[in-house]
Amino acid sequence: MSGPQIHPSASVAASAKLGRGVTVGAFAVIGEEVELGEGCVVHPHAVIYGPSRFGVENVFHPFCVVGGDPQDYTFGGERTELIVGDKNIFREYVTVSRGTKKGGGITRLGNENFVLAYTHIGHDCQIGSNNLFVNAATLAGHVTVEDFATIGALSPVHQFCRVGRYSYIGACTVIVQDVPPFSRVVTERETKSFGPNSIGLERKGFSAERIKNLQRAFRLLSRSKLNTSQSLVEMRAQFSDSEDVRELVNFIETAERGIVK
**CA-wise closest residue to 113 among 150, 159, 70, 160:** 150
Q: Which residues are catalytic?
A: 123-124, 141
